[in-house]
Amino acid sequence: MAVTEQPRKGRAEASHTFRALLVELPIYGLLVVAYFFLVLHFLTDWLGDLHAKHTTLYSLVSIGLVIGQAVVLEWVTTLLLRLFRGRSE
Amino acid sequence: MHFPISGADISPIYLVVVGFLIGVMGGFFGVGGSFIAGPALRAAGLDWNFAVGTDLAHIVGKSVVAAKRHRALGNVDLRLGLIMALGTIGGAEVGAQLIEFLKHSGNVNSVVSIVSIAIYVSISTFMIWESWKTLRLQRRKAAGMKVPGARSSREDESSFQVVTQSIQKFRLAPMISLPASGVKSISIWIIVLVSFIGGLFSGFLGGGAGYIRMPMLVYVVGIPTHLAVGTDLFEIIISASYGTFSHAIKGNVDIMIALVMNTGAAIGAQIGAIATQYFAGPKIRLAFVPLPLVGAAIVIYTMTTGHKL
């Protein structure tokens, strides 16, 4: 009994995760599109200017931006995964 | 979408998809994914120096996400990661200087292409041989002592273990222990050498060089594959940040491209990290094999046809 229960439980968990991802991806996609237009659009000129005139500052800002964005996106994806995984169970 | 820093026109969807795929692979294999990202950026129209620098910047972000998830799963040896960062930074600087030299001599694209093909093919060949041999050995052993459902540490053994053990016998002071990785005593110089080589490839070919560091952590330092994946990612954050800074100063980073790629990588990295829980060490290593070959194939395609995807 225990032997058949285990794979069944694993399959159910995988199915929940898959469904959660299907719901999460479009929401995440919308957030990313909004992010493109609101943030990246306004940063382009400023970063181009920095790259041309202040390379050291550009280097530091680049690392700050990429880490900052990663932390925020990690927080958003974890939240979404938790939210939808929780709801599907 | 136009990226004024590098002067390239690349579809943001292409960048997000590439970022997502690399994120999944990075979270699963503990690699930066430069063997895919570098050629993919090159194929999209970036010069190698921009592809290498931008790829490093993208890897910083992706590794933050994946390492955080691996830390939660207990797959990160912080002590080992911090020691490795020292050697990696030295190696990354030497690699970046080599790129700079080639850029000035005007043959950066051809030299980096040829070196990358040679490295990618060598890694894949070695790993397919080792993983296949280990899995065959395990199957033979399992025939004698089968434990249904159990996942023992035995599953992460390597047929290269004899060589690993002789490397660990090299006793040049200072010696350290890595309790989190199960290594009782190892010369710090072995770790520094492994990380220096990783850093050199990182600065020269781009990325975090996880494609060479992850196998070296398993085969040379002798730590379990799951820990190698997590620790490598943690170390990549430090080394790739340094590499990004170094390349950005030299004008080789288009941070806008990296930021766009990271939006896809953030979700992919989490999926990849979670997936490692369901696979044993040799299977992860065997699944790793096609990845550098895909990178090599993209470089060969771009070199021979001159066509940019």
Q: What tens digit of pLDDT does each residue of A12-31 get?
A: 665 666 666 666 677 777 77
Q: Which residue has the higher pLDDT, B60 or B142?
A: B60
Say if A40 falls within a structural domain. Answer: yes
pLDDT (tens digit per residue) in B187-233: 899 899 988 988 888 777 766 677 778 888 888 888 888 888 888 88
Say if A2 falls within a structural domain. Answer: no
Number of domains in chain A: 1
b or e along B173-208 (b: 16 or more beta carbons within 10 Å of the residue's beta carbon)? eeeeebebbebeebbeebbbebbbbbbbbbbbbbbb
Whether B306 has its CB under 8 Å from any CB of chain A: the answer is no
Q: Is the pLDDT of residue A11 over 70?
A: no
Q: Is the pLDDT of residue B269 over 60?
A: yes
As a whole number of angstroms, the distance between CA B15 and CA B293 comes to: 21
Say if A10 falls within a structural domain. Answer: no
The pTM (predicted TM-score) of the whole model is 0.73
Q: Which of B149, B249, B264 sits opposite A59 (nearest CB)?
A: B249
Which region among A10-24, B96-110, B230-244, B282-296 has the lowest average model confidence (pLDDT)?
A10-24
Q: Which residues of B touch A74 (CB under 8 A)?
A: 64-65, 68, 266, 270
As a whole number of angstroms, the distance between CA B241 and CA A80 comes to: 27
pLDDT at position A19: 66
Whether A4 has its CB under 8 Å from any CB of chain B: the answer is no
Task: Give DSSP secondary structure letters for B194-240.
Answer: HHHHHHHHHHHH-S--HHHHHHHIIIII---HHHHHHHHHHHHHHHH
pLDDT (tens digit per residue) in B150-159: 344 445 566 6
Say if A1 falls within a structural domain. Answer: no
Q: Is the pLDDT of residue B117 over 80?
A: yes
Say if A61 falls within a structural domain. Answer: yes
**Containing structural domain, residue A39:** 30-89
pLDDT at position A21: 65
Residue B174 DSSP code = S
pLDDT at position B150: 38
pLDDT at position A58: 92
Say if A46 falls within a structural domain. Answer: yes
Average pLDDT, chain B: 79
- Rounded to two decimals, the ipTM of the complex is 0.76
Q: Is the pLDDT of residue B31 over 50?
A: yes
Q: Is the pLDDT of residue B68 over 70?
A: yes
What is the share, in percent, of chain B residues with pLDDT greater than 90? 3
Q: Is the pLDDT of residue B162 over 90?
A: no
Do the Cβ atoms of A62 and B244 come within 8 Å?
Answer: yes
Say if A48 falls within a structural domain. Answer: yes
Q: Cα B168 from chain centroid? A: 23
Q: Which residue has the higher pLDDT, B72 or B277?
A: B72
Say if A57 falls within a structural domain. Answer: yes
Q: Is the pLDDT of residue A80 over 70?
A: yes
As a whole number of angstroms, the distance between CA B56 and CA B45 comes to: 17
Whether A51 has its CB under 8 Å from any CB of chain B: the answer is yes
Whether B252 has its CB under 8 Å from any CB of chain A: the answer is no
Q: Which residue has the higher pLDDT, B179 or B306?
A: B179
pLDDT (tens digit per residue) in B39-48: 788 888 888 7
Cα dist. B151→A7, B103, B183, B280 in Å? 15, 50, 20, 8
